[in-house]
Chains A and B, each alone.
Chain A
Amino acid sequence: MTDPFKRPSPVTAGFAIILIAALIAVILAAGFDLIDRIMAKRLACTIFGLMLLGAGNILPKLVMPVGAGSVGAGDRFAGAVFVLAGIACVIVALFAPGDQILLIESVVGISAFALAGLNWSLTKRRILPGAAMPGDSRAASQARAKRLAVILILNGLFWTFLIFVADSLWGDAGARWTLVPFMIVNGLLAISQHKLYRAARG
């Protein structure tokens, strides 16, 4: 049998590292006034769009063991929605009026999450008869840990879009308050991730 849960390709990891490095570079460049605020917004939002595209592209590939229940159809739909939304976000970041980039990009992003979330909630898990793999098996933990890594990225993007909306509607105070639930949710996901990796190592 091939190992369905092998490590991600170096291309995938490289893509993620380059995007995160580029985002840090944009933040630093804006902080040191090397680029103006509008350009910083355009570049950062382009990177967020590419992150959404990349995470959406890989999501359907992170399959769970058959015994743990297949949600392939839901993942494929969500992946396609995120990829299309990512492309739309890049277009918005590059061509929308400077003062409206954040709001338009956020609406596109949040709509994609709402659509994918709705579809996921309606997708039924398919468990083949006889495929009684325990939910806490090592293979299941490995698969869940990998999925959770991508879900952490998606969660970060979702809250980023929410913070952008709060910032557009209520200013800095709104954005600051939106950070609180983001930190709580992200912290809980990170703790789950750590536990899953420990279980996966056995």
Chain B
Amino acid sequence: MSIVFKALADPTRRRVLELLKTGPMSAGDLSAHFDVSKPTMSAHFAVLREADLVASEKIGKSVIYQLKMSVLEDAFLGFAKTFGWQLQDIAVDAIPAEAIKASEK
């Protein structure tokens, strides 16, 4: 469960989950909503996949993400959003390089 809390602690990842509530989206479409580099977005996606909050599928040249959250995890997301919950110790810089590499494969 701690990995879920870590994933929800970042506002960018929370925004990604909010965007996916409208339906499945490609990595490119999701990235277009953020002013961050591609490797950084890939790292965020890796964290969300690791926490099992999103499912990813490769279709053609695109990677499609869809939401995969239980009701409890959805409630945690609402809680984190309401209270602006953020943990400094798991900023993107702290994401292991292997996770970023794995997400780019």
Contacts and interface: CB of A to CB of B under 8 A. Distances in A.
Sorting the interface of chain A by its residue count into under 10, 10 to 19, 20 to 34 or 35 or more gives 20 to 34
Report, as a range, how many residues of chain B touch the other chain: 20 to 34
B12 interface: no
B15 to A, nearest CB: 17
A61 B24 contact: no
Most chain B CB neighbours (cut-off 10 Å) among A2, A63, A70, A72 = A2
Given A4-B56, A66-B57, A61 B63 contact: no
Contacts of A80: 71, 74
A37 B72 CA distance: 33
A49 interface: no
Contact of B55 (A4, A67, A73, A76): A4
Interface string B67-105: 111111110000000000000000000000000000000
B58 A66 contact: no
A59 B70 CA distance: 7
A56 B52 CA distance: 17
Contacts of B73: 61
Given A58-B70, A60-B71, A79-B71, A130 B21 contact: no
A72 B71 contact: no
B71 A83 contact: yes
B64 A66 contact: yes
Contact of A79 (B24, B57, B66, B70): B70
B8 to A, nearest CB: 15
A59 B71 CA distance: 8
A188 B59 CA distance: 34
A130 B58 contact: no
Interface in A80-119: 80, 82-83
Contacts of A5: 55
B49 A2 contact: yes
B59 A72 contact: no
Given A72-B23, A126-B24, A4 B57 contact: yes
Contact of B63 (A1, A70, A79, A82): A1
Contacts of A128: 24, 26, 59, 64
B69 A70 contact: no
Interface of B: 21, 23-24, 26, 49, 52, 55-60, 62-64, 66-74
Interface of A: 1-2, 4-5, 56-61, 63, 65-67, 70, 72-73, 76, 79-80, 82-83, 126, 128, 130-131, 133
Given A2-B55, A61-B68, A70-B24, 9 more contacts: A2-B49, A56-B71, A57-B70, A57-B72, A59-B71, A60-B67, A60-B70, A66-B59, A73-B23
26 contacts: A1-B58, A1-B63, A2-B55, A4-B55, A4-B66, A58-B70, A59-B71, A60-B69, A61-B52, A61-B68, A63-B55, A63-B66, A65-B57, A67-B59, A72-B21, A72-B24, A72-B66, A72-B67, A79-B71, A80-B74, A83-B71, A126-B23, A128-B26, A128-B64, A130-B59, A131-B57
